[in-house]
Amino acid sequence: MSGANAPKLELDGRGLRVGIVAAQWHEVVMNGLIEGAIRACERAGASHELIRVPGAFELPLGAQLAARSNKYDALVALGVVIRGGTPHFDFVCDGATQGLTRVCLDTQIPIGFGLLTVDNEEQALDRAGLADSREDKGNEAVEASLAMALLAQGALGLVGKVVPTGFR
């Protein structure tokens, strides 16, 4: 299982604003991912706002528009792409991944990557952060995004610090 060795981060995100950009396909899985992301924001003390986009392919533009709004210190991109019998899976996954990477680097706003790219619905449900899921990728994406936002604050405002402020 890919998340078996995921770090357990305890972050102090008070004062940070997180935009959760979430696709609408696969409602049950998406609800789990969104709820996991919200729980992580609340646990860290960060404020959050949900931004819905049609699907995974639209995540990069949704993230870019959110970044341009100057309302957020960090973003989280949540979506699900389930492999089918056509190359559509490869095109959507590659486009979304490359697009999110570009937005992150161009805007210098951290983006937590919560796009599930799975072979079947069972794998998606197992990563959705639901009561019977083994993993909570919405939570992990928020933790990564907040950690990078805190790193950016430390790197920009506290020269010489090795550990970013906000880590407990």
Where do the H-state alpha helices sit in 45-87? Answer: 59-68
Residue 74 pairs in a beta bridge with: 18
* Single-letter residue type at 27: E
CA distance 86 to 36: 30
Spatial separation of the C-alpha atoms in residues 108 and 90, rounded to whole Å: 26
* Identified catalytic residue from 88, 102, 134, 161: 88
Asked whether 73 and 149 are in contact (CB, 8 A), the reply is yes
Residue 88 annotated in active site = yes
* Whole-angstrom distance, CA of residue 37 vs CA of residue 142: 6
Is residue 21 within 8 Å of 57, Cβ to Cβ? no
The H or E element containing residue 22 is strand 17-22
| Catalytic (active-site) positions | 88
